[in-house]
Amino acid sequence: MKDLSYKAIMERKNDIMKQSVGIDYSIFEYGKVAFNYEKMMKQVSYSMDEMQTIQRETKVGNTPLFEVKNINNLIRKYSAKGKGARIFVKDEAANASGSFKARRAAISVYHAKQKGFKGVIAATSGNYGAAVASQATQRGLKCIIVQEVYDSNKKGQPEIIEKARKCEAFGAEVIQLTVGPELFYTVLRLIEETGYFNASLYTPFGIAGVETLGYEIAKQMIGLEGKYPDAVVATHAGGGNLTGTARGLIHAGAKNCKVIGASVDLSGLHMASDNDFNRKSFTTGHTGFGIPFATWPDRTDVPRNAARVLRYMDKYVTVTQGDVFYVTELLAQVEGIERGPAGNVSLAAAIALAKEMYEDQIIVVQETEYTGAGKHPIPQLTFAKKNGIEITRGNPQKNIPGKTIVLPMNIGQINSEDMDLFKLKKTYIKNFAKRYDLNGLGEDDITYIAEDVNLPESIVIEMLKEYN
């Protein structure tokens, strides 16, 4: 009988993970700390043609791209003369399961089937779980989804509960937990007990699956407007959304397109805190994930995260919770489509950015997601009130995460705040220095670090000296 204590499971985590994803990450290691990221992505994942074929088999991909003309007209009313870029939206709610994460799940579940696994397991707040469950049922595999849903008082987030319903609708077994360290332990124990495939969000399969999204955007924009978009805005949490989209854009030839990450500002709230768990109205796409995963991507359930946003992100902005709730209603009442909150984070950011860009420029919001009972603004705001959050109308810049949500009065009040990318890259270097012995680093090691933060090697060397 194996020891199933928390300590023992954690000591076996590397072996458990290696067996459950079928990747020997060590073959991509070289130098002292270097890792051949591009070689991993090339050797482990599938080609663009293969991924598009795999996704078509299970109702994923080739989603619509359309201009939000009514919103664009409103933006120009609040923009200076000559400003007000056109916004196009890639409607990923058209995928099986209703979000872009179907692209990630399609490749992971296909690979699991090819390698003879009988089932798949994923830890997720829900959208990815629904995607994995949808793909698993189409491929004839069992599926277990593990969620953090409740605080210690068994009070559950409406959005996560709604997503659990979606997972169960596709036939998955859903295991719901309270917030805390038991999530990773539970996932590891289940993987070891079942022998199922770890359909992690952060494997090369999951990230490569999103490359088809960026590739489609580039090709569709050429078809619609005869040019690539000037900017693509991606909601940023764990990093796979932005990383995969950026890689797909590059693959299609849109190398000069700016890739902009967007997160909801939840500064001051700790994501693993029982006290803070229900004082936030967003379960993904916020700074509680966006900043930690940008500054240290390898905090995941696999040895090396294939989502590495600092390699690709040209700009990183934040919006408020009130901005996103307002934009969710705006999209429904002005454009006639209801979509869930995560994609509307990037739409809110795009509206703010469009007011500062020229009217002949194009911004693409690269995803939407399905909506449902617990994901609408009304249940979210009602839940916030019950947890002591004050809801008001006015200037959203007065929003205080965990205390107030301020809904804008009009589209002119929607603004974004720039995150200091250089500072985030410096924090990455600091985190690197904490985890590795920097003595004796070679040229290969410096080159790898420089690629991971997209900075000149000379600057990386100066930063490393500062922390060593």
For 196-210, write each residue's pLDDT tens digit.
Answer: 999 999 999 999 999
List beta partners, residue 391.
405
Distance CA 58, CA 109 (A): 11
Distance CA 198, CA 20 (A): 5
List beta partners, residue 261.
234, 316
Instruction: Judge contact between 290 and 444, C-beta under 8 A.
Output: no
Listed residue (198, 451, 147) closest to 300, CA to CA: 198
Cα atoms in the 13 Å half-sphere on the side-chain side of 228: 20
Look at residue 31 in the predicted model and tell me its pLDDT. Answer: 93
Distance CA 13, CA 7 (A): 10
pLDDT over 80 (residue 468): no
Beta strand residue intervals within 37-78, DSSP E: 65-67
Listed residue (292, 111, 103, 122) closest to 200, CA to CA: 122
At 106, which amino acid appears?
A
468, with CB counted inside 10 A (0-12, 13-18, 19+), is exposed
Structure tokens at 426: 């410096």
Q: Residues 6 or more apart from 451 whose CB is under 8 A from it?
A: 37, 311
| 237 DSSP 8-state letter | S
pLDDT tens profile 142-199? 999 999 999 988 999 899 999 999 999 999 999 999 988 788 899 999 999 999 999 9
> For 325-340, what is the mean pLDDT?
97
What mean pLDDT value characterizes the chain? 95
Structure tokens at 427: 């924090």
List beta partners, residue 393.
407
pLDDT category at 439 given cuts 50, 70, 90 is: confident
Helix axes 443-453, 457-466, angle to 10 degrees: 100
> For 129-133, what is the mean pLDDT?
96
pLDDT over 80 (residue 125): no
Domains delineated in the chain: 6-53+100-204 (3.40.50.1100), 60-98+207-418 (3.40.50.1100), 432-466 (no CATH)
Look at residue 18 in the predicted model and tell me its pLDDT. Answer: 84
> For 239-249, what is the mean pLDDT?
98
pLDDT category at 92 given cuts 50, 70, 90 is: very high
**Alpha-helix residue ranges (DSSP H) falling in 253-297:** 287-295
> For 47-67, what is the mean pLDDT?
98
DSSP sequence for 300-326: SSSSS-S--GGGT-SEEEEE-HHHHHH
At 344, which amino acid appears?
N
